């Protein structure tokens, strides 16, 4: 597992969203920035708080020209229920086999649990910010918004 660093080009991938549509990272290049947040599990206290914090700030991300995408090892069925229950307006991707975590170099928490890492990727596909904090749900949103502000020159 290679560790992705700030300044690296984000690796391209294709995955299915919880609604069954295809998500391709390269489709966003030149059009929109991305905030990818990897989280451990649907429905847990901190993961729910994090997803809801992204939901509550989603309009700010959209206005800045960034799409938000959540990724966990849960199934798309679990994601559908989680998104409906919490009115999440951004896509969730299932990484059941851990391939996306490996591709991005997301470390495990205590060597066992899936890590919580947020990647801010600019329109050119370059990773501008990587933030990892296992127990700080709201901080991921604030770090992403701060990085976007810097990207946009503000």
DSSP state at residue 96:
T
Residue ranges of the alpha helices (H) in the chain?
45-56, 58-63, 76-86, 99-104, 137-151
Give burial (CB, 10 Å; 0-12/13-18/19+) of 65.
Answer: middle
Q: Which phi and psi angles does 104 have, rounded to 5°?
A: -90, -10
Nearest to 9, CA basis, from 130, 128, 106: 128
| Cα separation values, 16 from 27, 77, 118, 141, 144, Å | 14, 12, 19, 24, 24
Catalytic residue among 35, 47, 106, 127: 47
Pairwise CA distance, residues 71 & 41, whole Å: 9
Respond yes or no: is residue 128 known to be catalytic: no
Catalytic positions, written as ranges:
47
């Amino acid at each position: 597992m290679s560790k992705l660093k700030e300044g690296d080009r984000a690796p391209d991938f294709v995955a299915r969203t919880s609604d069954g549509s295809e998500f391709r990272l390269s489709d966003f290049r030149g059009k929109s920035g991305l905030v990818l947040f990897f989280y451990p599990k649907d429905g847990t206290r901190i993961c729910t708080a994090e997803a809801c914090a992204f939901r509550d700030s989603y309009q700010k991300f959209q206005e800045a020209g960034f799409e938000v995408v959540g990724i966990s090892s849960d199934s798309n069925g679990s994601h559908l229920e989680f998104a409906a229950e919490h009115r999440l307006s951004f896509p969730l991707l299932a990484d059941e086999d851990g391939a996306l975590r490996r591709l991005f170099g997301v470390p495990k928490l205590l060597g066992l649990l899936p890590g919580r890492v947020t990647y801010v990727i600019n329109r050119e596909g370059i990773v501008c910010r990587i933030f990892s904090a296992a127990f700080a749900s709201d901080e991921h949103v604030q770090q992403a918004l701060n990085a976007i502000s810097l990207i946009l020159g503000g």
